[in-house]
A and B are shown apart, each in its own frame.
Chain A
Amino acid sequence: MKHLTTTLLGAALATATALPAFAQETQVIGVSIPAATHGWAGGMNFHAQEAIDRLEEVYPELDFVLATASDPSKQVNDIEDMLATRNISALVVLPFESEPLTGPVKAVADSGAWVTVVDRGLAQEGIEDLYVAGDNSGFGRVSGEYMTGALPDGGQIVALRGIPTTIDNERVEGFEQAIEGSGIEIIDMEHGNWNRDDSFTVMQDFLSKHDRIDAVWASDDDMAVGVLAAIEAAGRDDVQFVLGGAGMKEMIARTRDGDPMIPANVTYPPAMIATAIELTAVGLTSSAPVSGTFTIGSVLVTQENAEDYYFEDSPF
C-alpha cells in the first residue's frame, strides 16, 4: 500500500510540476537480498529498508520493490517475478550464492535494466554495471595487522572460522598472510559457523586442550560473544584479548568504553547495501557516472573512533 501511494503521489507530483514539457515516467528499482537469518543479515535488512524509505522521499519519480529470500532458489524466483511483473529499470542484488544467481541476473541485464551487485560477486564477469564489494581478504589483513601490533613479541593464538565458504577462506588467507613472520602462531583453528553457541563449544574445548592462549581471533562478533563466555566460565586469565569483527553494536560499545578484552573491531559493514541502493538511484536519476567497482574497505575500530561506528537503532 505504501509503495502504491508513493507511486501515485510521485506520478501526480511529476505530472503537476512538469506538465508543459513532458510527463516524467516512474522508474522501479528492484532490491533482492537474503532474509535476516543471522545478525549481519539482520543489520543488512535494516539498512536496506532504511535506505529505501529515505530514497522514496528524496526521489518521488522512483519506486522500490524489496524482496528477501531465505534460499537461493527463492531469490531466483523473486528476481524473475520482478522482471516479469514489475518492469524494473534497475536491480540491486546481494546474491545468496554466486553460481545459481548468475543466470537470472544476466537475464535482467540482457533486458536492458541496470544491475548492481553487492558483496558477493557473480560467477561470470562483466554482467553487472556496478559492483559494490566488501573486501574479505582486506578484512583478514586488517585483523592480522592489528594482531601483530597488539602482540609485538609474538604469541600463541587460536582462531575461529565462519561457515565454510569462499568468504571465510579469503578472510583466513588475508589474516595468515598478515601475521606471517611476526612470531604469532595459530595453534588451533575450527569452524564456529558465525554462531554464538558453536563458538562457545569450540572455545571451551580449545581452553581444555591448550594451557596457554595469548589471544583469540574470533573473526566475527557473534563468535566473540561465545568465546568471551567460555573464557569467563573457565576463569582463565592467560587470554589477553579477543578480536571479533563486523562491528556489532554491543561489541563496538565495549571497545568505546575501554573494555580490555575487546580492544578493537574490524568492520564489514552491513550498510554496504545502502551504498549500493543509493548509488543506483543516483545513476538512474542523474547524469553522474556510477558504473564500475566500489570497494568498501574494512576499517580498524579502536577506542578512539568507536563512536563513529555505533548505530543505536540498528539491530546488529
Chain B
Amino acid sequence: MKPDLHVLGPILALVALILVGAAMNSNFLSAANVTNVLSRSAFIGIIAVGMTFVITAGGLDLSVGSMAAFIAGLMILVMNGLLPTMGPGWPLVGVGVGAAIVAGLIAGFLNGFLVTTMRIEAFIVTLGTMGIYRSLVTWLADGGTLSLDFGMRTVIRPIYYDGILGISWPIIVFALVAVLGEIVMRRGAFGRHAAAVGSNDQVARYSSVDVNRVRMLTYVFLGLLVGIATIMYVPRLGSASSSTGVLWELEAIAAVIIGGTMLKGGFGRIWGTVIGVLILSLIDNILNLTDGVSPYLNGAIQGVIIILAVILQRERKAGG
C-alpha cells in the first residue's frame, strides 16, 4: 500500500523535529525536558481537543484564551474569598475546581446559545466574547495580577508539578482527554454527527440529526475543557492577569489544522491535533535550547514550520 501523506504528514514533521532537537542538544531527550514540554503542552492540548470538535462541526471559537484567563481569575478569587471560612486544604481546592468547571460550562453554553439559537456567525460571537472575558479579567484584577493566597498555593501546587510514577498530572489529564476525544470522534454517534453537520448541515438535518443540539454540545464541551485546562494552569504560578492565555485560541486552532482537521469542517482527527500541539511546543523548546537563531526570528520559524506541516498533508490532493 502506498503511504498516505495526508495521514503521515504531521507524524513525519513531528519525527523530524524530534531528530533535529536531539541532534542539537543532548539534554533534549532527558526525562526532565520531555516532562517540561509535555506538561506545558497540556493547556493548549486539552483546549485543542475540544476545538477539534467545534471546527469539525463547522464552527470556530476565538474566545478560549480569554475564557481561560477569566476562569483562572475567577477560580483564584473564589478560593481567596472562601479561605477565611474554609481554611487552606483540599476541600477548598475542590470548590475552586468546581467553580472552574461550572464557569467553563456556562461560558461554552453562552457561545453555543448565541451561535445556534440567535444564529450569529461563530466568528463574530466568539470575537465578542473574547473581548468581554479579556476585559473582565483585567477588571477583576484591577489592571494588575490576581494572586492566589500563599498558603493555598502550597496546597494546590501538586496538581501541576506532581503525578503518578513520574508522569505529571497535566500529562495524564491531557492523555485521558485525548483518548476519550478520539473514541468519541471515531466510534461515537456524536463524532459522526459533528462531521455530518460540518460537512453539510442541510443534509445532516434531512438525515434527522439535531444540528443545533450537536453544535451546542461542541461549544459546551469546549467550555468544559477550557475549565479543565485552567485547573491545570492555576497551580503552576498561582496567578492570573490580563496577559494570561493570550493567543491560546490561535495556537489551539493552528494545532487542530496542522493535525489534519479541515478548517471548513466536516472532518476531524483528534490524534492529529495532539501531534499538532506537540509540534508547536517542540518548536519553542528547540529554539530555546539552541543558540545561533536570533530570538527575533522565533515567530518566523514557527510560521514556516506550521505552513510546511500543512503542505506535507496537502501534497496528495495537489498531485491529483
Contacts and interface: CB of A to CB of B under 8 A. Distances in A.
Nearest to B238: A229
A74 interface: no
Interface stretch (A34-42, A56-64, A142-150, A285-293): A34-42
Grouping DSSP codes into helix (H, G, I), strand (E, B) and loop, the A interface class, with mixed when no group exceeds half, is: helix
B141 A42 contact: yes
Contact of A226 (B36, B237, B242): B237
A194 B145 CA distance: 13
A89 to B, nearest CB: 28
Interface residues of A, number: 39
A207 B25 CA distance: 13
A315 B142 contact: yes
Nearest to A44: B143
B73 to A, nearest CB: 13
Contact of A209 (B40, B145, B289): B289
Contact of B25 (A194, A209, A225): A209
Contact of A42 (B142, B237, B288): B142
Contacts of A196: 145, 237, 239, 241, 243
Interface string B142-154: 1111010000000
A38 B31 CA distance: 34
B129 interface: no
Contact of A201 (B27, B244, B284): B284
Nearest to B144: A315
B202 interface: no
B119 to A, nearest CB: 30
A61 to B, nearest CB: 30
Nearest to A226: B237
Interface in A3-20: none
B161 interface: yes
A46 B138 CA distance: 13
Interface in B21-41: 25, 27-28, 30, 32-33, 36, 40
A141 to B, nearest CB: 23
A206 interface: yes
A205 B27 CA distance: 10
B300 to A, nearest CB: 13
A229 B142 contact: no
A164 B299 CA distance: 12
A84 interface: no
B302 interface: no
Nearest to A234: B32
B295 A191 contact: yes
A37 B242 contact: yes
A36 B201 CA distance: 43
Contacts of B244: 197
Given A191-B295, A196-B237, A36 B285 contact: no
Contact of A36 (B33, B144, B289): B144
Nearest to A195: B243
B6 interface: no
A35 B141 CA distance: 13
Question: What 6 pairs across the A-B complex have the smallest Cβ distances?
Answer: A36-B143, A42-B143, A315-B144, A205-B288, A42-B144, A208-B33
Interface of B: 25, 27-28, 30, 32-33, 36, 40, 138, 141-145, 147, 161, 236-237, 239, 241-244, 246, 284-285, 288-289, 291, 295-296, 298
Given A42-B143, A209-B27, 11 more contacts: A36-B138, A38-B241, A164-B296, A197-B237, A197-B244, A205-B36, A205-B285, A222-B243, A234-B32, A315-B143, A315-B145
